[in-house]
Structure 1
Amino acid sequence: VPLAASRAYRDGPSLYALDAASGTEQWRVRTDAWVYALKADRGTVLTATRGGGVQGWEASNGDKLWEITGVQSDFETVEAAPVIHDGTVYVWQDARLRALDARTGLERWSYPIGDAASCGGVPVRVTPAPDGYVYVAAGTRVLAVENVSGRVRWHFESPAVFLSPPAFAQGPAVTGGGVYLADYLGTVYALDATTGKDRWRIATEARASVEPVLVAVGNVHVGSGSALYTLDAVTGTPKWRFAAGGDVVGSPVVADGRVHFGSADHVLYTLDAAGGQLRWKLATGGEITGSPVAQAGVVYACSKDRCVYALDALKGTGTGNRART
């Protein structure tokens, strides 16, 4: 987790920070329970621990700023953990979505979102957005909540539950702005960010992924089952579908007109983002894990063969960097 010149790490019941340049340990603290999620924002480190604990820490020295208990503990995963953004922490506690001050832990507002049973047996997922709202997926519901006051702007109901969080695209609907989600049946929804009205919905195929859809350059990319689908963000018109040899893993990443994604068939794929044509693929010795990263003409991917691959994003050739973990 980047923290300016340092990085914070978790290791079971320990939290520690290293200098990003030298690797020198700056501080280390012992936590009361196993840390399952770690995030940071504006000088605050946020941890979530097994058994419903959430803690805020001072990034510079590791001092504990605050701690709460009794947070929703049915879904203690990195994806379903509390969220920190722009000085606010969002937690699911006592059947309410609570917004806390990141430095003090004091509650700013709360909303009765419901318990796990009323949310369809799936975790509540929160996406803070630059338009001043947080977009919340809670079972079959999607809500837009003003991040300062907690006032609900709109509410949308779908036939099936959402496993992944909403994806927000800035701008008017006519250029592809809005809120995009995919339910577990693989139906992709485009909602108007101002009104919550359903602009379009398109069926793909059953989707167990907890990753959000990707909205980039006027397209919506979504991995459903063993295929990657690309839809027009404005109209929902399907543009192309590419079938992999196994379930799509993680979220795709788009850079420089190419889309990169991994699959359970051990292969990293790179396609033309506009037309879906295969540009290159790399077979590894294990299932691709997580989402690739594309930066400065290089795509990075991890495989269960215990290697991290760094490849030329245009050609798929090695850069001389393949690290074994």
Structure 2
Amino acid sequence: PARWRPWRFRMSNDVWGKPVVSGNLLYVTSFEVHALDVTSGRRQFKTREVAWSMALAEGLVHASDGPSLYALDAADGRERWRQATGGWVYSLQVAAGTVVTGTRGGGMQARHAATGEPLWELTGAQTEFETQEAGPLAHDGTVYVWGEGRLRALDTRSGAERWSYPIGDAAACGGVPVRLLPVDATAGTAAGPTVFASAGKRVLALDAAYGTLRWTFEAPAVLLSPPAYAPGAALTGGGVFVADHLGTVYALDAADGRERWRIATEARQSIEPVLVADNHVHVGSGAALYTLDAVAGTPMWRFATRGDLIGTPVAADGRVHFGSADHCIYAVDAVGGQLRWKLATDGEITGSPVVANGVVYACSKDRCVYALDAEKGTARR
């Protein structure tokens, strides 16, 4: 496979972030937003403006060049609206018909997704970690914002505060950003809608409606990534899985936070959550992918590469797909860990791959977007 030349589309600039598939188009960010045909790889349109961040929802591509926010028709790239933000946008999300942005200096804004009409604007968000991952999180009609030592839940449309919890400032949280995972009632948590949070060495479970603390768990090392949740997994009300920066993976009962098991892998600098699929826990630690039994924590297999794993692996149809800093895209058997195929590119893989309709889409620092047959690794033309 390393000698085979795949279907690919070459950009004129570096590609970053995770590609997004919607309908017949694949959207990627490479200084501009590019829309590629999923079948042929031909570009259908690209933005004229720089796009540092992008979100896709309800037939619109929302993007920001920093000082302004704009929306394009997702089918043909025509501009629908544009607004000045009054600050530099570092995070952008769309939820419940609302665009939520974080701007440098602790600002946050909400706009109507279809029209760009301002809805509300507040200050007081954290300023230590101005990244997409640490910005305000919009989910199911609520915006979660960390700032001034508190985690606040705001109404998406009005900005009204629903609750706040004293989660601590950056120093209290181990000098790393708070990472969140909201879980709806439909996901099967025994106690109802819950917000799970990684805050320094702590994992917290907060009632999503009232912000009251349900339980807390403290690990011996700092947690860089958000928790992952899986219903069932033979744990009451589901299981919460998280890995610390030393590579120890913990399984907690979602109902009460009791530790069910822990197992060491190797040092892990990734900010991505572990992947839980089909009662397996897949975790990229250093230059290896570890797979554990989600119920017992028993190691199942370890697959080593020649560079650190990038992003979160993706499980589909009995395979696990992932990229590595060794320039390769991999597909391995989810149960036994045997290599199914790999493809060498001319650069480090950037971000997590995406699997849709039997195709793996991945981006590389060789400025190319790849579309590969998920089963065989061959090109999809």
TM-score (norm 1): 0.96
Q: Deviations over 1:28-69 (max 9, x none)?
A: 111111111110111010111111111111011101111111
Match among 151, 155, 171 for residue 97 of structure 1: 151
Conservation of the 8 A alpha-carbon contact between 1:167 and 1:180: yes
Greater RCO (Cα-Cα under 8 Å, separation 6 or more): 2
Match among 110, 114, 119 for residue 65 of structure 1: 119
Q: Quote the Cα distance in structure 2 between the aligned partners of 1:55 and 1:181.
A: 31
Conservation of the 8 A alpha-carbon contact between 1:48 and 1:82: yes
Q: Quote the Cα distance in structure 1 between the aligned partners of 2:314 and 2:244.
A: 20
Match among 345, 358, 376 for residue 284 of structure 1: 345
Q: Deviations over 1:74-97 (max 9, x none)?
A: 011111111110000000111000
Q: Deviations over 1:257-309 (max 9, x none)?
A: 11000000100011011110000000001000000000110000000000000
Q: Quote the Cα distance in structure 1 between the aligned partners of 2:159 and 2:235.
A: 39
Conservation of the 8 A alpha-carbon contact between 2:311 and 2:323: yes
User: Are residues 1:37 and 2:127 paired?
Assistant: no
Structure 1 residue 171 displacement after superposition: 2.5
Q: Which residue is equivalent to 2:68?
A: 14
User: Are residues 1:210 and 2:264 paired?
Assistant: no
Worse-superposed segment, 6-15 or 91-100: 6-15
Q: Quote the Cα distance in structure 2 between the aligned partners of 1:104 and 1:172.
A: 38
Conservation of the 8 A alpha-carbon contact between 1:35 and 1:48: yes
SS of 1:315's equivalent?
Answer: coil
Match among 51, 61, 77 for residue 131 of structure 2: 77
Q: Which residue is equivalent to 1:323?
A: none
In structure 1, stretches of 5+ residues that fail to align are 321-325
Q: Quote the Cα distance in structure 2 between the aligned partners of 1:172 and 1:308.
A: 36
Q: Name the count of aligned residue pairs.
A: 320
Q: Quote the Cα distance in structure 1 between the aligned partners of 2:115 and 2:80.
A: 7
Structure 1 residue 2 displacement after superposition: 2.3
SS of 1:33's equivalent?
Answer: coil
Q: Which residue is equivalent to 1:235?
A: 296
Q: Quote the Cα distance in structure 1 between the aligned partners of 2:122 and 2:354.
A: 34
**Aligned positions of 1:129-140 closer than 5 A:** 129-131=183-185, 132-140=193-201
**Aligned positions of 1:97-136 closer than 5 A:** 97-131=151-185, 132-136=193-197
RMSD (Å) for aligned C-alpha atoms: 1.2
Paired residue type of 1:122: V
Match among 23, 43, 50 for residue 77 of structure 2: 23
Q: Which residue is equivalent to 1:314?
A: 375
Conservation of the 8 A alpha-carbon contact between 1:289 and 1:304: yes
Structure 1 residue 177 displacement after superposition: 3.0
SS of 2:380's equivalent?
Answer: strand
Match among 163, 182, 193 for residue 254 of structure 2: 193
Conservation of the 8 A alpha-carbon contact between 1:249 and 1:288: yes
Paired residue type of 2:203: V
Q: Quote the Cα distance in structure 2 between the aligned partners of 1:139 and 1:4.
A: 35
Structure 1 residue 174 displacement after superposition: 4.4
SS of 1:173's equivalent?
Answer: coil
Q: Which residue is equivalent to 1:179?
A: 240
Conservation of the 8 A alpha-carbon contact between 2:125 and 2:147: yes
Q: Quote the Cα distance in structure 2 between the aligned partners of 1:164 and 1:172.
A: 21
Q: Which residue is equivalent to 2:103?
A: 49
SS of 1:207's equivalent?
Answer: coil
Conservation of the 8 A alpha-carbon contact between 1:173 and 1:192: no
Q: Quote the Cα distance in structure 1 between the aligned partners of 2:267 and 2:237.
A: 24
TM-score (norm 2): 0.82
In structure 2, stretches of 5+ residues that fail to align are 1-54, 186-192
SS of 1:73's equivalent?
Answer: coil
Conservation of the 8 A alpha-carbon contact between 1:205 and 1:224: yes
Q: Quote the Cα distance in structure 1 between the aligned partners of 2:84 and 2:232.
A: 44
